[in-house]
Amino acid sequence: MPVPPTYAAGIRLLPNAVTVLALCAGLSSVYFALSHNFAWCVAATGVAALCDALDGRLARLLDASSRIGAELDSLSDLVSFGVAPALVIYIWALEGSRFGWAVALIFAVCMALRLARFNTLLDVEDEVPYAKEFFVGVPAPAAALLAGIPLYVTLHFGPGWWSDQVLVGLWALVTAGLMVSRLPTLSFKTVRVSQRFIAPLLVLVGIAAAVLITAPFLGLAVVAVGYLLTVPYTIHRHRWLGRHPEAWNVPVRQRREVARAARSARRLGLRPPLRRGVAGRASAVARAVRRFGDDAGGAVQRARGGNGSTRGGNGAQAPGPAPQPRGNRLRLGLRRGNRR
């Protein structure tokens, strides 16, 4: 059994140091907002998001996960993606508004509630196997990204209807509601890319990098809108997994086969077994039999026989029963030559 490598104590402190850098970057966005340099506010929040994405992976890589690191990460997220964006939005668009400070307070409180719920769910053991693939509500960095959409558009296109105080305040409240909602959102930590999609994905990454370099604020707005568009798909995927327990313990790469088999079974179950005309004729006969009893069943057989002739093995026609009166056909709801 391989022995995990051991690292020096200074190296094991690296994840916590990255978390502190994320906290400092988030607070620096408030400093830049006070000097009305909102482009640097966005840059500082981006650095905080990058550090937040790295500290957890470094902790797992160095086997340096600790309780204090988890608590420090939550406090850093609260400041960097809750308090700091609320203050930046207030200073940028809501200062002087009657309800501006209330919007900032609601956003920060919803961020605190979202992180408290996240920390509580970490201790839940009786969850479904696929729960780790989803977040409950919009995560903290994504919420900060979404709340800044009006600011990104304003920095790229200039002031407009998107920078109106009422719209900015309402959008901040909508983002706060998404944080504390029960909507499942995608956890990119568990996303697996198929081999055939690696090359197109790398091309998309190159295009995204080019857009972020040439038009960074417009690129951020597009990324935020793209994240919003993934929410309906995530809800559909979460509900599908809830209805298909057979796919819970299947690796993500093999769930496509399970979904394909489920679709095939559903199609086979919904497809009518007979043609439309035959099924309609059979239903009419069944109604007649229920209405007139066994005598009607015999009349149906005689009516369907037409001239009542069948061919034997030597090609000769065997005599059949005598044709029935027209009234039997009318009572049974059958008409000659009725084909749909």
Q: Looking at residue 28, what is its pLDDT?
A: 94
Q: Looking at residue 339, what is its pLDDT?
A: 45
Q: Three-state secondary structure along the chain?
A: CCCCCCCCHHHHCHHHHHHHHHHHHHHHHHHHHHCCCHHHHHHHHHHHHHHHHHHHHHHHHCCCCCHHHHHHHHHHHHHHHHHHHHHHHHHHHHCCCCCHHHHHHHHHHHHHHHHHHHHHHCCCCCCCHHHHHEEECCCHHHHHHHHCHHHHHHHHHCCCHHHCHHHHHHHHHHHHHHHHCCCEEECHHHCCCCHHHHHHHHHHHHHHHHHHHHCHHHHHHHHHHHHHHHHHHHHHHHHHHHHCHHHCCCCHHHHHHHHHHHHHHHHHHHCCCCCHHHHHHHHHHHHHHHHHCHHHHHHHHHHHCCCCCEECCCCCEECCCCCCCHHHHHHHCCCCCCCC
pTM: 0.70
Digit-by-digit pLDDT tens for the chain (340 residues) are: 444 555 555 677 888 889 999 999 999 999 999 999 999 999 999 999 999 988 888 888 887 778 888 889 999 999 999 999 999 999 999 988 889 999 999 999 999 999 998 888 776 665 677 777 788 889 999 999 999 999 999 999 989 999 899 999 999 999 999 999 989 888 877 666 667 778 888 888 888 888 888 888 998 999 999 999 989 988 988 888 887 777 667 666 666 666 666 666 666 654 444 444 444 444 454 455 445 554 544 544 554 444 444 444 444 444 444 554 444 444 444 444 444 4
Q: Looking at residue 1, what is its pLDDT?
A: 47
